[in-house]
Amino acid sequence: MKKAFSTFFAIILLISALLLASCGDTAGGNGGSKNDGKVRFLGEEGEEVSIEINEDKDILSYSIVRDDNASKNVVELAVRLRSDIQNKAGAALDIGTSIGGANAKQIVVTIDEDLGEMEYSLTAKNKKIYLCGGAEESLTKAVDMFVKNFVRGEESSLLVPADGGYSYEISYYFDKLTIDGVNITEYTFYEDEGDESVINYNKKAKILATELSDLFATKLIGKGIEYSDVRSKDGKQIIISSNSLNVNDYSVKIEDGNIYLTGSYLSVEEAANVLISEIFGYSEGIDERSKTLDVASGIKKEGSLGLTVPYTKDQLLELFIEADKRDDMVITGTHTYGDQRNGSGIQKTIDNCIKATGESVAIMEIDVGQFGPYNNSHLGEDVLYQYDISQLVSEGAKHVSKGGIIAIVAHLGNPLNNADDGTYYRGFLGGDNVVEEMLTEGTELNTAFRATLDTTVRVVEAFANNGIPVMLRPFHEMNADWFWWCSNQGSGRYLSPETMTNMWKYLYNIVTVERGAEDVLWVYSTSFNGENKHSVKYAYPGDEYVDIVGIDWYTGGKQEYNSENSYTDLMSLGKPTAITETGPSDALAKKRVDGSTYYTYTSVDMLNDIKQMLSEGLNVSYFATWVSRTVYNLEGGDVLMADPIMISREDLAERWAND
């Protein structure tokens, strides 16, 4: 959109000489004085520029002017201009806030709303030099260019632009874009997630708003659109909602002067694309042209990302059964831990793995227990918002569509909240009688137990509603003594096998019957025998409630996986067997000079240990490393992933495509 500078100021001249003090005025030179030559410099895009100039050696006759209500940054920019001129030409100019009459020599530093945010100009009229920008950033460029090319240090003089000066202008796609006749520049972005507690938390809406604002500023209209925390009562907002639990679907609606972009954490991006490309008619690479567009309310467009699930629950179970029987097929996996208000961690983990090894592990295991009400940092509130679940399921669905698998473990908060150190998943229940009360519907403890289960159940249900089978690994390491659900309750107290299995069956009923999430593979995961732990089969709930069995094994470098026949005992249950959680123990941790931790146990050591297990006749259908000891964190991850027996996400994608 080119600015019609000369026309604009021809009109202004007819009104008043004082109104010539404007950034867009490019007519004339320095008060009618003779032309003194030319100045050559490089323009914004690196092109050589040559413009007519007048030289004024009476530099001290100038003052610097900025608007009385200028922003802090513009005020500081005017001060910097004064300092730069003094440093270069030895002249200390005064700074004021009022534009003087026709004979006042001034350097005017100002924002010009008629310029696009990326545009700026250096012009002169009536003994005034105008340094103008459409926004603070572009105004800074105008000031810098003026100091570099128009302030002469040796002569202690100013070069005053003549015959139009220099303007950096952009041809935007629209010269005017309106919604029901209202200019889009009057709009603001607003997030609407249906929960006030999520305000200022929804990173996706803010990221998307920023990206769209940049597009408006640089390509569409030359102006960005601000973000607001307040819902307008009078329309004129682009309202973003990115918390849908239906991963694929999205919609764009223009109604009552508002624009609504609605979808999941993943699909809302496509809603934005539809708004820009289909409704506004812009796409990257299209020939830029000036035009006016008015969009009327009543438009609604819906669509789907089309992500598919390449396997069923039965096919997934068949995969693990096959891997369990073979000694040349081990499915790779890792835990990923998204902190509160720091995302799900799924995509970040995948990106890190691919960067380090060239491939992604197949299984991504997530944990949302930390979001529950008994994490003391939450002050008794469940902080797993629908937005969080949307992100989890969106990133998980993308992983699945590329062949991957989603697993869920649960560090559940203690409903009694009685850990000595305040850690939400530690402490004790006491004995069988407490668990019986906890499993009795309607009791206070039962209500608390359901609350601590709820974050995990909601995530499982969300995946199920998107047709995505998941692996669920609850009450892990239950034969030990460090979690509140463990069999060893301390002080000589123990939970009976029946009590332990009743806890499992209670959760199983909630997931499969109450919530109807039947596409779940249930993973029974214990710690290896010994060290004051019960047998790995102590809390086994029965074949009808379990699909996969496994061992959590943190090695001290001694291949402890079959301590006291731990692994062979699990294999005797007749289910696919796995290393459900693994990595080097803290005994193998070392400190670097900078204080960071590394492990002497590498991914190559892990590969060799797994091969050793297979050579001993121990079946390993899959392994999953812990979050701080992943395949890509440990040295040699690329070697492990490149080994022919290791099955990556990419390998599974090929398998599902051929099924």
Q: Which of 281, 287, 288, 254 is nearest to 175 (CA)?
A: 288
Q: Going by DSSP bridges, is the β-strand pair 597-599/589-591 parallel, antiparallel, or unpaired?
A: antiparallel
Q: How confident is the model at residue 10 (pLDDT cuts 50, 70, 90)?
A: very low
450 and 324, same structural domain? yes
Decide if 393 contacts 466 (C-beta within 8 A).
Answer: yes
Beta bridge partners of 646: 330
659, exposed or middle or buried, with CB in 10 Å at 0-12, 13-18, 19+? exposed
Q: 393 pLDDT exceeds 50?
A: yes
Which carries the bigger pLDDT value, residue 8 or residue 429?
429
Last residue of a domain, one of 107, 138, 168: 168
Q: 543 pLDDT exceeds 80?
A: yes
Overall number of domains in the chain: 3
349 and 267, same structural domain? no
192 and 43, same structural domain? no
DSSP state of 628: G
CA distance 245 to 463: 9
Residue 407: both structure tokens together: 């697993």
Q: Find the mean pLDDT for residues 180-189.
A: 96
- What is the per-residue pLDDT for 30? 37
Q: 182 pLDDT exceeds 80?
A: yes
Q: Find the mean pLDDT for residues 82-95.
A: 95
Last residue of a domain, one of 304, 332, 347: 304
327 and 293, same structural domain? no
293 and 401, same structural domain? no
56 and 14, same structural domain? yes
3-state secondary structure 495-564: CCHHHHHHHHHHHHHHHHHHCCCCCEEEEEEEECCCCCCCCCCCCCCCHHHCCEEEEEEEECCCCHHHHH
Question: What CATH number does residue 435 fall under?
Answer: 3.20.20.80
Span 643-659, pLDDT tens digits:
999 999 999 999 999 98
Q: Name the phi and psi angles at 393, rounded to 5.
A: -70, -35
Q: Find the mean pLDDT for residues 15-40.
A: 48
- What is the per-residue pLDDT for 17? 33
435 and 529, same structural domain? yes
Question: What CATH number does residue 249 fall under?
Answer: 3.30.379.10
**Domain assignment of residue 194, given as a range:** 176-304
Give the rounded percent of residues in the chain with a pLDDT score beyond 90. 80
Q: What is the mean pLDDT of the chain?
A: 90
Last residue of a domain, one of 168, 192, 219: 168
42 and 23, same structural domain? yes
358 and 210, same structural domain? no
456 and 546, same structural domain? yes
158 and 187, same structural domain? no
395 and 339, same structural domain? yes
Instruction: Tell me the three state secondary structure of residue 409.
Output: strand
